[in-house]
Amino acid sequence: MTLWQRKSKRKLTGGRLKKNAKKKKRERGRDFVPTKIEKRKIRKIRVTGGNVKISLLSENFANITVGKETKRAKILSVIENYANPHLTRQNVITKGCIIETELGKARVTSRPGQHGIINAVLLGEK
């Protein structure tokens, strides 16, 4: 079933609102697509204005910021995911999750499903 990102049909009081426009394709929501730790796979999605959004399906590497430097490091596993504890067991990467890399533990700062890349900040050095 499709989720719609549009105004409710009802007022706060429970009364009905009159419909002033049809549903538009741009108002549809998308299902959550988990980003796994595997060889890089992306999906291109057409969005409003004919633009393209890159959704990351799987990735092995992350861009880790250490101080003012940025290094590319291999992702080993997901340690903690505050969005949902079940995502930790499934090794799903989302914004805010803690990942184990070659450089040490890092917190993901990008949205892989929206930005098409994994950026992270190093928490502690090995």
pLDDT digits (tens, 9 = 90+) for 63-90: 999 989 999 999 999 999 999 999 999 9
The CATH T-level fold of domain 41-125 is 3.10.290
How far out from the chain centre does Cα 81 lie? 12
Instruction: Spell out the domain ranges in the chain.
Output: 41-125
pLDDT digits (tens, 9 = 90+) for 29-66: 888 889 999 999 999 999 889 999 999 999 999 999 99
